[in-house]
Structure 1
Amino acid sequence: MKKRILVAPLNWGLGHAARCIPIINALIAEGFVPVIASDGVALALLRKEFPNLSSIELPSYDIKYAKNGKLFKLKLLKESPKLIKAIKAEKKAIKSILENSNIAGIISDNRLGVRSNKVPSVFITHQLNVLSGNTTWLSTKMHQNIIKKFDVCWVPDAEGEINLSGKLGHVKKFDKPIKYIGPLSRLTKIKTEIKNDLMVLLSGPEPQRTLLEEKLLSELRNFSGKVAFVKGVMEKEQTIQVKGDMTIYNFMTTGLLEKTINESALILSRSGYTTVMDLAKLNKKAFFIPTPGQFEQEYLAKRLTNMNLVPSCNQKDFTLNKLENIKAFEGLKSFDVEVNYKDLFSLF
């Protein structure tokens, strides 16, 4: 019998689920049977991508962002009892899944309670250091203590000096095995004709996703050129609206997303790590607007701007003319890291 591996991404926008797609495909290619476990839009995305795989709904963390980025930490602190309750429910759910399903291993992408001492358990994260301003030491220590409860940590980045995550994914020492598995992307670069002058890619937790959507729809009314606008809202059916030179999608699955990014001259998006990996793979020029108050995205945006790769600005400061800055920047580039999935999955 083929071994069944539980793959459980965090439901925090679409990024964690999206970067699990190449992992799921690799598991299938290596003769395993992935079982998807998540909730919300992350689960909805993976069910659309893999309709033939079995899936399980896990308890939701249900964490909401603050409308004001400056209150981000305070809001997370207030939500922490809800988070602790969700992790306890998650552990209980995993215990039940293992008792009732023949699961040979677990791959958790940032789901803190999805692990077991009974089967090999992997934690995927690009944040060995968790930035939180003046409490970075505490958030990092807490996160590392959780990682150490797993058998191994997979970091989706290159190990050397040329990397995408910077200090987020690199530490001097760690007393649990770390494997750098290279940047993960479900997308492939295709030589094609450019059809869109700009593509807007939105995702991430509410209410910040909606706030940026409203701001960009307002700003782009004066954009002279063809725009593909992806809201990043997972619904049962895909909807497409055409307003002049702008085509608005509620969401895109992998095939259309890959095609549209390849056909777009410029990308305007959040600086989430999965987006960074995707755009690097496709060698794209971009402009980043980090989620207000999310230190990780602010760090990535600032780092890539300082490296002269991608310009960026705060959400409140964005205006249409800032897109002109893209011309002076190099854009993102991919670097090949050979991943030996047979070796990686030998744990199971």
Structure 2
Amino acid sequence: MGHATRCIPIINALIEHNFEPIIASDGIALQLLQKEFPKLESFELPSYNITYSKKPKHLKLKLLKDTPHLLKTAKKEQKAIANFVKSNAISGIISDNRFGVRHNDVPSVFISHQLQVLSGNTTWFSTKIHQRIISKFDECWIPDYADKNNLSGILGHVKNFGVPLKYLGALSRFKKETLKTKYQLLVMLSGPEPQRTFLEEKLFGELKTYNGNICFIKGVIESQQTITQHKNMMIYNYMTSAELETTINESEMVLSRSGYTTIMDLTKLEKKAFFIPTPGQYEQEYLAKKLESEGIAPFCKQNDFTLDLLSQVENYKGMIFKESQLNYKKLFGLF
């Protein structure tokens, strides 16, 4: 979902610069982009079908076991793209972490904030594999700031990288607006199962006695939007981009995973936040610790969350970074 939503501003910029984007994805990411861009051509790619283990300590083992499947899927992607290029005049390919979405005869870009891939004691290996994949593309676009005041830290900043790197700043589909406060707390859930459901159940229990208005977005994409109310809590299964932009702007504080796209969205809207990393996700754990150490936002582990921890937020400055203007015309010069 995060990879799909952060591509929305790029798709909009392509349209503004007279390109005709074609969307290729799968699952709920494809559904979301089709809802956002109903007039654009789209087609389905082979699915990676990534799921998480119920126990975080088994996550790395599961991902290692899934590696042959991921590589096989990447080859299927490459074949699908090759067939598509044969019958369509394509100026360029932009792949957000789809390993096989590239073509030797078409300028191909890889979007990633992970030039280093954290995986505990196998970080060196996962990083080497990922950098080898990126090296097959013509450029790597990094959704982050180039200077030391950045979002991704060691993930997106390395020296002497073999492929041209371009920093895009914080990529977000949202714009900051000054709106009247409607919610004291906005809960935004995301990420793969079963951890998304585990956190949902945990939060429903802990937030029963919260003193203020809550908007709770489950992050479950379904054919129809559902809205229910329970005491001081409005509960949505999902929101469109426009609805979510307004709701975040109307909220004093956001409780969410420390996923990178969420971090960029909250940076664009300069929000106060509390993060709960997905258990076993080294990247989210690193980002949450980084933001806390820099006095930006507090965090805790999923099992440790209690309602009183939210009071820590007032002691942090929030998601405020120096904004930079991206020159899309220059960026799209590759195509």
TM class by shorter chain equals over 0.9
In structure 2, distance between residues paired with 1:258 and 1:329:
23
Runs of 5+ unmatched residues, structure 2: none
- Per the alignment, residue 217 of structure 2 pairs with 230
Query: Helix, strand or coil: the match of 2:21?
Result: strand
Query: Of residues 145, 151, 167 in structure 2, which corresponds to 1:164?
Result: 151
In structure 2, distance between residues paired with 1:245 and 1:97:
50
The alignment's C-alpha RMSD in Å is: 0.8
Letter aligned with residue 34 of structure 1 = P
In structure 1, distance between residues paired with 2:96 and 2:206:
35
Q: Are residue 92 (structure 1) and residue 79 (structure 2) matched?
A: yes
Q: Which deviates the most, 82-91 or 296-305?
A: 82-91
Q: Deviations over 1:25-59 (max 9, x none)?
A: 00000000000000011101100100000111000
Query: Of residues 122, 133, 136 in structure 1, which corresponds to 2:120?
Result: 133
- Per the alignment, residue 273 of structure 2 pairs with 286
Q: CA deviation at 1:335?
A: 2.1
In structure 2, distance between residues paired with 1:52 and 1:333:
35
Q: Are residue 212 (structure 1) and residue 199 (structure 2) matched?
A: yes
CA contact (8 A) 1:238 1:252 kept: yes
Query: Of residues 189, 204, 208 in structure 1, which corresponds to 2:176?
Result: 189
CA contact (8 A) 1:196 1:264 kept: yes
In structure 2, distance between residues paired with 1:82 and 1:152:
26
In structure 2, distance between residues paired with 1:207 and 1:95:
35
- Per the alignment, residue 9 of structure 1 pairs with none
Q: Are residue 145 (structure 1) and residue 129 (structure 2) matched?
A: no
Matches within 5 A, 1:315-326: 315-326=302-313
Q: Are residue 62 (structure 1) and residue 11 (structure 2) matched?
A: no
CA contact (8 A) 1:289 1:313 kept: yes
In structure 2, distance between residues paired with 1:210 and 1:114:
31
- Per the alignment, residue 268 of structure 1 pairs with 255
Q: Which deviates the most, 227-236 or 331-340?
A: 331-340
Percent identical: 61
In structure 2, distance between residues paired with 1:214 and 1:124:
33
CA contact (8 A) 1:282 1:334 kept: no
Q: CA deviation at 1:328?
A: 1.1
Q: Deviations over 1:80-127 (max 9, x none)?
A: 222122112111111111112222210000001100001000000000
In structure 2, distance between residues paired with 1:317 and 1:159:
34
Q: CA deviation at 1:221?
A: 1.4
In structure 2, distance between residues paired with 1:65 and 1:191:
38
Letter aligned with residue 136 of structure 1 = T
